[in-house]
Structure 1
Amino acid sequence: MMSHTYLNMNEDFQNPSTLWAALIIDQLVKNGVRFFFCAPGMRNAPLLKAIELHPDAKSFIGFDERAQSFRALGFIRTHSQAAALVCTSGTAVANFLPAVIEAEKSRIPLIVLSADRPGELNAIDANQTIDQTEVLRDYCKHYWMCSEPQSDFPPRALSGKLSQLTHSTLSSPKGPMHINIPLREPLDHSPVAMDQKWKDEIFHILKKERASLENALLEKRIPKAELSELYQALENSQRPFIIFGPMDEEASLWEEDLGEFLESYKGSFSCDVTTGLKYKYGSEKGLIPTLDHPEVLAELERTNPDLIIHFGHRLTSKHYYKFLERRIYSDPEAKIFHICDSHQHEDPGLAFQRRWNILPTTALRAINHFLKERKDAGHTLKLRPLLNLEEMIQKKTDIINNSPLSYPVLTKIAVENLEGPLNIFMGNSTFIRSFDSYATYKSLSKTWNIIANRGASGIEGHLAMSQGIYDASQSPTVAFMGDVSFIHDLGSLASLAVLSSSAEEEREIPLLIIVANNQGGGIFKLLPIGKEENREKNPYLSLLTTPHQLDITAIVKAFGIEAKKVNSREEYLQHLQQWNKKPKFMILECLFNDEDNIRTYDQLKTVKL
């Protein structure tokens, strides 16, 4: 029978700090936290030792804390399980802040274990000490200052507290947790006399197969009266519009539920790109593309939906919220409902009139059950799509098919040519908007698990995210990012180089990273501030766009990673087709100029319904 705790406790943990660390790691593992992304250091050495010796814990080694934090974030988003970051004392924990902010905004159970120096060393400003208690607190669902290992602090109190905190962190709405752990020297294997009763109690807890405090995860349910109200709203509506935003469950767990709902509904709906289901359906099925298409937005406003139900979290499209804002302004009694389990307000359009605080997937399944009951009783919805978009989509397709390399070309070729089940990371900010704007009339039935950092929508950590996604899935993964995002995370190339060197001849690493290099932050040139006629008035534009002439391919090759330059749509398509046949680890640098990119976007705006 496999051991569920340490094999040689007496020999391995002979001082208070190492034994305390062993108890912390053991209880986290027994509460479902088995993956640890470790940053180097000495103060956290007892924690690192405890992770390495625990039979059910898995560690991931990295060079720096910021990269490790985004790597862990990518891992959690893909694996749908909690993971922990581990760091030493001092400024190390501050490097976790951007990823913790994203985790808080995106409801990700990211756990931070920061080793600290004892209280008296912090009080006298000893080397490598800062006040670690406030660094992450504002963005954590839970923060706890753990006690130092001492005989008058009962081990049962520590194990019970860890169980309760972990349970709450993993309960919806999920979120990050920070545990600050002061550890006293010795931090290595040096033996120190310990209180025998205290030591025996820790050993007793460690030997238990399960956590010392077990918590049950209970699912919220939507009352039948509320279901009836939703159904009546749908039944009485002539022009409903249903929106599916990001969910806290991966698409594979609820796409069947969505298909069942759409079979009964048959009206207009929209899927945000982050749902992973945008490319499963076409406009022939009633799918309305993102409202970032101005002609789609104008036509939807003309049809004036009389019911809007938004499942899930915030959309990528900002024009959707402008649409809601105008809708509620023109009719303060408009029926605009939100179904979302979140501690945040999530109402950028200030338009939601009613909110059900429940997991959208739970609500969708309950609605499907209710619709089936109504159908069996002879009641069915009689709806049809609001818009016919076939001609508009064809015109835009023709423009992109005849355009040089640009963001719309990169995304269209990728959507239509990448094959098989894939993990897709979409970087901020132009790439994800371009993917969200993709439209097709015929359904593609793509099977993509899409990951994106849309909580705070930062551009940091994209390379690290890509590695974390692959760490979790060990399956074909494609990441898309802009050149500025890539440059922002150059340090992660070191960790990716280790991954590359570990590839065996007979087992390639199926990770493709696609970098759009238009020599700076080109998204600002698509905005009014960057229009050519305004550039003389805005001499500071370069401070926004950060132009550069860096050779990304040469930088990547310096780390021993395979990289290729792409200068045309034909080369790009060829590389994707080759990767489909034989996935491997490589980075494609796709070079194009802003003028071509801007011209393509301007032409797309000329299409009218």
Structure 2
Amino acid sequence: MSYTMSSTLLTENISRLWTSVIANQLQKLGTDHVFIAPGMRNAPLIAGFKAQEEINLHVGMDERALSYQAYGYAKTSGKAGVLVCTSGTAAANFYPAVIEAKKSNTPLIVISADRPLELSQTDANQSIDQKQLYSNHIKHFLDLGTPCESVSTKAVARMMAHAYEVALRAPAGPVHINISFREPLDGKLQSIDSKVIDNAKNVFEAQSPARQLLGQNTLDISSIMPLLQKAKNPLVVVGELNLSDVNETREQLLQALKSCPFPLNVDVTSSLKFDFSLNDGLVPTFDHPEVYEYFHNNPPDLILHIGARLTSKHFYRYLDQHSDLFPVVHLSKSISLSDCGHAVTHNFNVDPINAIIALGSFWSQTPSTKNLPFSPFVHKKIDTIENSKPLAFPYISKRIIEMIPSGHNLVIGNSTLIRSFDSYASVAEAKSLSVLTHRGVSGIEGFFASATGCALANKKPVTLALGDVSALHDLNSLELVARSSTPIICIIVNNYGGGIFTLLNLEKGEELYPIITSPHERKLAPIAKAFGIEAHEVNTRSEFEMTYKSALERKQSTFIEVFVDTAANNEIYQQLRTIKLS
């Protein structure tokens, strides 16, 4: 549920005075949605945010679900997702989303209410040590202490503005703000010095925030031009890009990338993959043995990797085994050692979006080397998928891409599904999709919730493709799906366990499959129906296409459970592996 009301400086007591200033400061910095896990210790914070104009409050019963909703909102919008919780284990339930945000450079601001020192350090009920709770998984920790008259609200406002700036500054990420509240936690009147109130009014009524977000650096590509000009046969790969930045600059990015005269591999996490086809010189993922073999026999003389990590582990295997043959140039916002192939020779800490746009003018004046042999084997794989009758992951991902309208959101789960979508390569057709993934640490939880956050951010329909085990991890978030005013189509591929492990072709250890595959006997559509969501069970291709087509035409959320036989799915994958380059 959501709430809004006009801005008011609360002066009933010092706690409410502080929280009014905190909420008002975040509003001035651009916060328009706040995600609240209710409680009593954070009641002053709830009051402060509820009193601010233009801030929508989203209340969630499950802290983990709420945190992923904030993550999905932040990743799609580019704005910081603000989370508010009570004391105790509430903030700990945010932990998986905080880690994902750190690894994926997504701005989150966690504001946790705490008990004061005399309670938190004496084993009082619902108290833990919340300071540095997230360790090195955040960019910044701020302990505001307990609201008091001796600390000026101007100082509080500036510290909040700084924390906001840290969350947004590249590389973006989560910050944690901890604030201890003594009673009264409600609106009980408490005497406050008039000077303190006057100072708070000055901060509150100021037209601008207490501290401005500084501008971001742009790229001067002259520093990398000597490397690029020397290369005659480079390979350009585009990894994960900031989703909100892509949506703001998509036309410029496509103009630049489609002028690229070199072989181009675009990862599914870039949100640009489906804007390209083989006709644009697209190189399919290195997970295709044919692609790996081609570049083994025809190595580039330079690899230019733009953006964050790629989905394909075989790309990094290729780097590990061939990097002595060519330099590897990496352009990324991150200052982390993002080099799991142990191959990067030149690393530039730059905004990859600006880099692509800037490189467009160089690429447009360079002769093309895009004579690639991939179209025949892709056609053969498409024919294999089309001619095989059972429902399987390659067919499901292919049909979703073919049927989903351009401009929609696509949220993709991990494990088999993300690899299936990354393996897809269009022969001719292209469409623009906003693709949201959880590839920071590749956890399997929180996808229903992040899909609702994505829908909240841009108000566009969402198709969520998810595995059954991942869905089981996030059933509470179906409440958020049921509440969503924007349609969310949940396509759950149910093979009754973690089928990806059966695709690994273990030489030894098959006896572990009954454990590592998390087998179960649960159907999930009845659970979705219990949340009031229209739900369907699908067993054939025709049923899937008809049900998905109908869901796309509806204005409400739909749950589609697609049953896949693991043995039949594995057989199709085996057939696809046997196809070779002509």
TM-score range, shorter chain: over 0.9
> 1:386-430 CA distances to partner (integer Å, 9 max, x unpaired)?
521121011101110022101011001111122231100001111
Deviation of 1:190 after TM superposition, in Å, equals 0.3
Asked if 1:239 is matched to 2:233, the reply is yes
1:324 pairs with one of 319, 324, 338:
319
1:98-497 correspondence to structure 2 within 5 Å: 98-222=96-220, 224=222, 226-233=223-230, 237-250=231-244, 251-328=246-323, 330-331=324-325, 334-370=326-362, 380-403=365-388, 404-442=390-428, 444-497=429-482
Runs of 4+ residues over 6 Å off in structure 1? none
> 1:250-302 CA distances to partner (integer Å, 9 max, x unpaired)?
43334333433345432211100011221121122211100000111111111
> 1:107-145 CA distances to partner (integer Å, 9 max, x unpaired)?
111000000011111121111110001321321111011
1:594 pairs with one of 562, 566, 575:
566
1:50-61 correspondence to structure 2 within 5 Å: 50-61=48-59
Cα distance in 2 between the residues matched to 1:583 and 1:405: 27
**8 Å CA contact 2:64, 2:94 repeated in 1:** yes
**8 Å CA contact 2:170, 2:216 repeated in 1:** no
Find the residue that maps to 2:284 and give its secondary structure.
Answer: coil
1:496-575 correspondence to structure 2 within 5 Å: 496-499=481-484, 509-529=486-506, 537-575=509-547
Cα distance in 2 between the residues matched to 1:264 and 1:21: 51
**8 Å CA contact 1:238, 1:383 repeated in 2:** no
TM-score normalised by the chain length of structure 2: 0.95
Q: What are the ranges of 5 or more consecutive residues in structure 1 without an aligned counterpart?
A: 373-379, 504-508
Cα distance in 2 between the residues matched to 1:76 and 1:338: 25
Find the residue that maps to 1:98 and give its secondary structure.
Answer: helix
What is the aligned residue count? 576
Structure-2 change in CA distance of 1:145 and 1:573 (3 Å): same
**8 Å CA contact 2:392, 2:568 repeated in 1:** yes
**8 Å CA contact 1:227, 1:367 repeated in 2:** no
Cα distance in 2 between the residues matched to 1:173 and 1:29: 22
Structure-2 change in CA distance of 1:583 and 1:274 (3 Å): farther
Cα distance in 1 between the residues matched to 2:459 and 2:72: 13
Cα distance in 2 between the residues matched to 1:116 and 1:484: 34
Structure-2 change in CA distance of 1:451 and 1:41 (3 Å): same
Cα distance in 2 between the residues matched to 1:337 and 1:227: 9
**8 Å CA contact 2:284, 2:423 repeated in 1:** yes
Cα distance in 1 between the residues matched to 2:82 and 2:572: 44
The residue identity in structure 1 corresponding to 2:541 is R
Cα distance in 1 between the residues matched to 2:457 and 2:254: 27
Find the residue that maps to 1:265 and give its secondary structure.
Answer: coil
Cα distance in 1 between the residues matched to 2:232 and 2:24: 57
Aligned to 1:605: 577
Deviation of 1:593 after TM superposition, in Å, equals 1.0
Find the residue that maps to 1:441 and give its secondary structure.
Answer: coil
The residue identity in structure 1 corresponding to 2:548 is L
Cα distance in 2 between the residues matched to 1:560 and 1:7: 35
Find the residue that maps to 1:246 and give its secondary structure.
Answer: coil
**8 Å CA contact 1:63, 1:495 repeated in 2:** no
Structure-2 change in CA distance of 1:135 and 1:605 (3 Å): same
Cα distance in 2 between the residues matched to 1:385 and 1:5: 57
Deviation of 1:241 after TM superposition, in Å, equals 0.5
Backbone CA RMSD of aligned residues: 1.8
**8 Å CA contact 1:244, 1:312 repeated in 2:** yes
The residue identity in structure 2 corresponding to 1:416 is E
**8 Å CA contact 2:316, 2:340 repeated in 1:** yes
Cα distance in 1 between the residues matched to 2:480 and 2:216: 39
Structure-2 change in CA distance of 1:215 and 1:539 (3 Å): closer
Find the residue that maps to 2:273 and give its secondary structure.
Answer: coil
Structure-2 change in CA distance of 1:53 and 1:220 (3 Å): same
Deviation of 1:369 after TM superposition, in Å, equals 3.9
**8 Å CA contact 1:264, 1:381 repeated in 2:** no
Deviation of 1:445 after TM superposition, in Å, equals 2.0
Asked if 1:86 is matched to 2:78, the reply is no
Deviation of 1:518 after TM superposition, in Å, equals 0.3
**8 Å CA contact 1:510, 1:584 repeated in 2:** yes
TM-score normalised by the chain length of structure 1: 0.91
**8 Å CA contact 2:261, 2:363 repeated in 1:** no
Cα distance in 2 between the residues matched to 1:267 and 1:7: 54
Cα distance in 2 between the residues matched to 1:210 and 1:582: 43
Deviation of 1:230 after TM superposition, in Å, equals 4.1
Cα distance in 1 between the residues matched to 2:146 and 2:578: 66
Cα distance in 2 between the residues matched to 1:471 and 1:123: 39
Aligned to 2:15: 17
Structure-2 change in CA distance of 1:497 and 1:364 (3 Å): closer
The residue identity in structure 1 corresponding to 2:352 is P
Deviating more after overlay: 592-601 vs 190-199: 190-199
> 1:576-603 CA distances to partner (integer Å, 9 max, x unpaired)?
2223333431100001210111011000
The residue identity in structure 1 corresponding to 2:299 is N
Find the residue that maps to 1:342 and give its secondary structure.
Answer: coil
Deviation of 1:13 after TM superposition, in Å, equals 2.9
Asked if 1:64 is matched to 2:48, the reply is no
Cα distance in 2 between the residues matched to 1:453 and 1:485: 12
Structure-2 change in CA distance of 1:448 and 1:514 (3 Å): same
Find the residue that maps to 1:480 and give its secondary structure.
Answer: strand
Aligned to 2:31: 33
Asked if 1:577 is matched to 2:549, the reply is yes
Cα distance in 2 between the residues matched to 1:460 and 1:263: 35
Cα distance in 1 between the residues matched to 2:555 and 2:399: 17
